[in-house]
Amino acid sequence: MLFSEATTTSFFSLAPWLVFAPVIGLLINIIIGGRFSEKLIGAVASVASGATFIVSLLLAYSVWVGHGQGESIFLAEWIHVGSLSLDWTFRVDSLSTTMMLVVSGVGTLIHIYAIGYMHEDVRFKNDPSRFRRFFVFLNLFIAAMMILVSGDSYLMLFVGWEGVGLCSFLLIGFWFEMDTLARPSWANSNAAKKAFIVNRIGDLGFLIAGFLMFWYLGSLQFDEVFAAAPELADTQPGIIIAITLFLLVGVAGKSAQIPLFVWLPDAMAGPTPVSALIHAATMVTAGVYLIARSAPLYNLVEGAQSVVVIVGAATALFAATIAVGQYDIKKVLAYSTISQLGFMVAAVGMGAYVAGIFHLVTHAFFKALLFLSAGSVILGLERGHHLLAHAHNGGAADHDDEEEVRRTEPAEVFDPGDMRNMGGIRKTMPVTFWLYMIGSLALVGIIPFAGFWSKDEILLDASLKYPAVYWLLSTAAFFTAFYMGRQIWMVFFGTARHEAAANAQESPKIMTVPLMVLAGLSILGGLLNLPFKGFHNLGHWLEFTLGEVELLGLDPTVAGLSTLLALAAIFISWLLYGRVTLKQADRDPLKKPLGFVFTGMENKWFVDEAYKAMIVDRYTDVCRFLADVIDSRFWHDWFHEKLIVGTYNWFSNTGLNYYADQKIIDAFANGLGRTTKYLSASVRRIQNGFVRSYALSVFLGVVLILGYLILK
Amino acid sequence: MSPELILFLVLSLVAIAAAIGMLISPNPVYSALFLVINFSTVAVFYLILGAPFIAMAQITIYAGAIMVLFLFVIMLLGAEKLAPGKVLPYQKPLAIGLAIVLMVESVYAVLARNPSDAEIIVPTEAANSIDAMRDLGIMLFSDYLLPFEVTSILLLVAMIGAIVLTKRAKGEQE
Amino acid sequence: MVPQDYYIALSAILFTIGALGVLIRRNALIIFMSIEMMLNAANLAFVTFANTYQHLNGRIIAFFVIAVAAAEVAVGLALIVAIFKSKHSIDVDQMSSLKG
């Protein structure tokens, strides 16, 4: 039906298949996936995701052929109430196709990777039946993310927004009854709940922004909102500021910015492909996309833009410092993600939308690569650990026998994600090592990797518009290089601090091949938008949607300084971590020079603790007050038990039972019975059995009747 | 005072006296005999009223057969003299009082309240003739055929009933 | 001549005496006799009316009453004999099993 209108040059009518394809995939896996092998389940999901990527490609091609002319594809009517009319309409333009390509492209690679990863993960966690569930969730996420990026209105975007939030919740809590080390615990489900609840706060902001738009601008459709906004900005600029700031609250929730970033590190409880796909490459960038999409609103109010920039920059630096103090390989990357998201938010905040989106794209490549490689490292350690355990217990290592592996699970708790257990993996997992190196260099921003070009563009924009922010971001970039260097030295160089690391095994091809593709993209991603005349491909591409954008050249000062900073940071990290291999029990070398500062970094600056003390505990206090005093004591004990039940009991016992029932109704009934009894007892004596007596009665009757007849 | 009236008064006095005699005589045999006198006087009234067949039936059935039956039973059961009753002490005075009231009422109703002009028609020769009897018979077997037959069945049933009631049950000792 | 009412009055008096006999006597035989007398009193009234109205119906009714009375006496006396056999008395006050 939807194919028919597609011509060779215009594939716009395929847009709904962005959503249909993954939905069909997940339905297949739900309905008949139970009989599929793991490979087939993974293949179905990957093909569904790949179909989405192909549709995205065709749509992008259509936009390109049409000289940037986007199109809105109407699918179904949705809400038509009064002046509000919203439909399921897919908005295909250069911005949304960029997002589609990133999401479906990276998503497909991660799907393929996950076939290999989850195969082992479900076995280490002793529940292979969840393999299918994982891919259903992944496809659901792709569908929701496609709704998010292709929606033609804030409401449709919000549907996708909530959809990805749901998938995030489901996947963080994928191993909901155990912690990350597969011990029985509610740690993972708590992390999922934390992510969901923190996102609710952000979503409330988004909703309020939506309400304001509807109230003051009369619509939620993008074009109508943007068309009506300038007029409102003239008359009531405060409203636009409010809208943009409330949107920023939503962005802070979804893209893990200050003050709502706390959920993202905990979200690492999910399986690593989830961390890569949702919590690094795609979902968390939805906030950046939202700001870029709302560019016409943000451009109207400079004050709000400043707030966005400050939030982004502060987040970038703040998270980068925390990343320095982390020991978990994924936690480092998580804070790195928050930091990089700060870069993007700062970029889009200062109006450098192209830079922001550019960094979004490259970041999706190299951060997905890093996460997946980290997953590969973790699995490698798991394999080594199991191998060891088996060798210790049974002698001959027979890894085909999964049951055997499970039974010989050592009692000792081994955290395969802890960098203090690693070291020297360069030798045992060479492919992963090189992939990780590429990702790290891209993240750190070493020329010519993708991260260099995108980060540099942001720094350049900042240096021109917000010098203070430039320094903040540069510092953050320095820390970025430092913590990545620290990670590399700790994980891959030196000697193994744990036997498992020494025995780590390389991952299978199904995992490494997608990583190689991502590595290629991380190397070449910069080609998208080189800062040279004629190479601003992404800039020109996005101009179709965002209007005229300033296309900057390469500033040698900025680029040189950032490269210098990065190299310096890597050198310092080598001095501290690489020169001498740490022992497992060693304290972190930074602890000594930095003292309590490092303690703060290690403990995430006690933000969780502060939130707990300031908000969560106060909230639970209020809840406890409400539950205990208001609900239990007042409402239940007093109002309900005493007032209502008591009154009712009194009324029924004393009033109705005693007075009404016993004294009136029963008395009446009993009296009736007693009277009858009494009467019959007395009348009974007439029935004395003497025939003459009866005859006398008859005689009396005769006399009386005759007397009546006479006297009548 | 016509001779008929004198005759009526004398006979009615005899009838009433016989009735009271039956009522108060302690011995059932006496009572039975008083009743025979009463029935006989009533039979005479029937004759006066021009109903010789009824009078004869009265004499033969009532005063004859029925009273003989009574006497038989008295003889059979013994002329028992009952001890004064201890129960129903109010029965006798109450009954007497009521009876007096009823008597006054009925006599008053008949004689004072709505008296009739009608007088007794002295029976003619024809009325006492055999033809009149034949009329009665014809009527009995035409208009009153069904009641007559029913009466015959009734008598049969009574006869059988009496036999059944007094029959000695099988194996019952005297 | 004798007025019809005199006969009716006599009938009423005899009836009342009979009724009184039923009420005050305890001997079942005498009660039975009293009943016969009441029937007889009724018969007298019937015949009287038959005379004054010069119609045979009254007499026929009287005839039926006599016949029924004969049947009644036959059964009634049989009953009294049966009662006497079981109770050895013909005192009606002895027969009070129907007491409520």
State whether C81 and B65 contact (CB < 8 Å).
no
Find the domain containing B20 and state its range. 1-80
Q: Is the CB of residue A692 less than 8 Å away from at least one CB of chain B?
A: yes
Model pLDDT for residues A334-352, shown as the tens digit of each residue = 999 999 999 999 999 988 8
Q: How confident is the model at residue B1 (pLDDT cuts 50, 70, 90)?
A: confident
Domain covering C4-91, topology: Helix Hairpins (1.10.287)
Alpha-carbon dihedral sign for residues A622, A624, A629, A633 = positive
Collect contacts of A180-186 with beta carbons under 8 A, ≥24 apart. Answer: A180/A268, A180/A269, A180/A415, A180/A417, A181/A413, A181/A414, A181/A415, A182/A124, A182/A125, A182/A126, A183/A413
Q: What are phi and psi of A321, to 5 degrees?
A: -65, -40
Highest mean pLDDT: which of A82-86, A511-515, C84-88? A511-515
| Three-class secondary structure of residue A539 per DSSP | helix
Domain-terminating residue out of A556, A581, A601: A601
Distances (CA, A) of A237 to A133, A154, A213, A227, A299: 48, 20, 13, 15, 12
For the cut 80, the answer to whether the pLDDT of residue A666 exceeds it is yes
Find the domain containing A698 and state its range. 608-704
Instruction: Determine contact, residues A526/A370, Cβ cutoff 8 Å.
Output: no
- The residue of chain B with its CA nearest to that of A709 is B109
Nearest CB among B87, B88, B98 relative to A699 is that of B98
Token pair belonging to B125: 């020769």
For the cut 90, the answer to whether the pLDDT of residue A369 exceeds it is yes
Please report all neighbours of B, defined by 3+ CB atom pairs within 8 A: A, C
Model pLDDT for residues B48-78, shown as the tens digit of each residue = 888 888 999 899 988 888 889 889 888 888 7
* A681 contact partners, CB below 8 Å, separation of at least 6: none
State whether A700 and B95 contact (CB < 8 Å).
no
Q: Could you identify the residue written with the tokens 């028919």?
A: A4
Crossing angle for the helix pair A154-172 and A187-212, to the nearest 10 degrees: 170
Q: Could you identify the residue written with the tokens 């129903």?
A: B88
630-689 in A: which are within 8 Å (CB) of B?
688
Return the pLDDT at B173: 58
Percent of residues, chain A, with pLDDT higher than 70: 95
Return the pLDDT at A254: 92
Q: Tally the domains of chain A.
A: 2
Whether A633 is in a domain gets the answer yes
Model pLDDT for residues A186-211, shown as the tens digit of each residue = 888 889 999 999 999 999 999 999 99
- Containing H/E element for A275? helix A272-276
Cα-Cα-Cα-Cα torsion A117, A121, A122, A126, nearest 10 degrees, comes to 160
| Amino acid making up residue B109 | A
Return the pLDDT at A413: 72
Model pLDDT for residues A291-303, shown as the tens digit of each residue = 999 988 998 888 8
Domain-terminating residue out of A576, A601, A626: A601
Could you state, in order of their start, the residue ranges of all structural domains in chain C? 4-91
Return the pLDDT at B79: 64
- The residue of chain C with its CA nearest to that of A680 is C100
For the cut 70, the answer to whether the pLDDT of residue A407 exceeds it is no
State whether A710 and B109 contact (CB < 8 Å).
yes
Q: How confident is the model at residue A1 (pLDDT cuts 50, 70, 90)?
A: very low
Distance from CA of B108 to the nearest CA of A (A): 9
Mean pLDDT, rounded, of chain A: 86
* A623 contact partners, CB below 8 Å, separation of at least 6: none
Whether B74 is in a domain gets the answer yes
Nearest CB among B20, B53, B66 relative to C36 is that of B66
Task: Report how far residue A33's alpha carbon sits from residue A39's, in angstroms, rounded to the nearest whole number.
Answer: 11
Return the pLDDT at A361: 92
Between CA A434 and CA A442, with CA A437 as vertex, the angle to 5 degrees is 130
DSSP string, A280-333: IISGGGHHHHHHHHTHHHHTT-HHHHHHHHHHHHHHHHHHHHHHHT--BHHHHH
Task: Report how far residue A152's alpha carbon sits from residue A87's, in angstroms, rounded to the nearest whole number.
Answer: 8
For the cut 60, the answer to whether the pLDDT of residue C100 exceeds it is no
State whether B111 and C5 contact (CB < 8 Å).
yes
142-161 in B: which are within 8 Å (CB) of C?
144, 147-148, 151, 154-155, 157-159, 161
Interface test with B, best of A691, A700, A710 (most B CBs within 10 A): A710
Q: A455 and A538, same structural domain?
A: yes
Whether B162 is in a domain gets the answer no
For the cut 80, the answer to whether the pLDDT of residue A278 exceeds it is yes
Q: B32: domain CATH number?
A: 1.20.120.1200
Q: How confident is the model at residue A55 (pLDDT cuts 50, 70, 90)?
A: very high
Whether B29 is in a domain gets the answer yes
Model pLDDT for residues A637-663, shown as the tens digit of each residue = 888 888 888 888 888 888 888 888 888
For the cut 70, the answer to whether the pLDDT of residue A409 exceeds it is no
Model pLDDT for residues A154-188, shown as the tens digit of each residue = 999 999 999 999 999 999 999 888 887 777 888 88
Interface test with A, best of C17, C20, C23, C87 (most A CBs within 10 A): C23
Q: How confident is the model at residue B171 (pLDDT cuts 50, 70, 90)?
A: low
State whether A692 and B91 contact (CB < 8 Å).
yes
Return the pLDDT at B174: 52
Q: How many CB atoms lie within 10 A of CB A516?
A: 16
Instruction: Determine contact, residues A251/A290, Cβ cutoff 8 Å.
Output: yes
Nearest CB among B87, B91, B108 relative to A696 is that of B91
Q: Tally the domains of chain B.
A: 1
For the cut 70, the answer to whether the pLDDT of residue A397 exceeds it is no
Q: Is the CB of residue C54 less than 8 Å away from at least one CB of chain A?
A: no
Cα-Cα-Cα-Cα torsion A144, A146, A150, A153, nearest 10 degrees, comes to 10
Whether A555 is in a domain gets the answer yes
Distances (CA, A) of A34 to A44, A48, A129: 13, 17, 9
Q: What are phi and psi of A77, to 5 degrees?
A: -70, 150
Model pLDDT for residues A552-601, shown as the tens digit of each residue = 777 888 888 889 999 999 999 888 888 777 776 667 777 777 777 777 77
Task: Report how far residue A456's alpha carbon sits from residue A572's, in angstroms, rounded to the nearest whole number.
Answer: 22
Return the pLDDT at A8: 52
Q: A473 and A567, same structural domain?
A: yes
DSSP string, C35-89: HHHHHHHHHHHHHHHHHHHT-SHHHHHHHHHHHHHHHHHHHHHHHHHHHHHHHS-
Percent of residues, chain A, with pLDDT higher than 90: 36
Between CA A507 and CA A511, with CA A510 as vertex, the angle to 5 degrees is 50
Q: A584 and A437, same structural domain?
A: yes
Task: Report how far residue A375's alpha carbon sits from residue A175's, in angstroms, rounded to the nearest whole number.
Answer: 16
Nearest to A284 by CA among A373, A363, A390, A204: A363
Instruction: Determine contact, residues C7/B5, Cβ cutoff 8 Å.
Output: no
Task: Report how far residue A225's alpha carbon sits from residue A210's, in angstroms, rounded to the nearest whole number.
Answer: 10
Q: A684 and A559, same structural domain?
A: no
Instruction: Determine contact, residues A75/A87, Cβ cutoff 8 Å.
Output: yes
Task: Report how far residue C20's alpha carbon sits from residue B156's, in angstroms, rounded to the nearest whole number.
Answer: 31
Whether B146 is in a domain gets the answer no
Return the pLDDT at A405: 44
ipTM: 0.90
Distance from CA of C9 to the nearest CA of A (A): 15
Return the pLDDT at A404: 43
Q: What is the mean pLDDT of residues C7-21?
A: 92
Nearest to B121 by CA among A472, A52, C55: C55
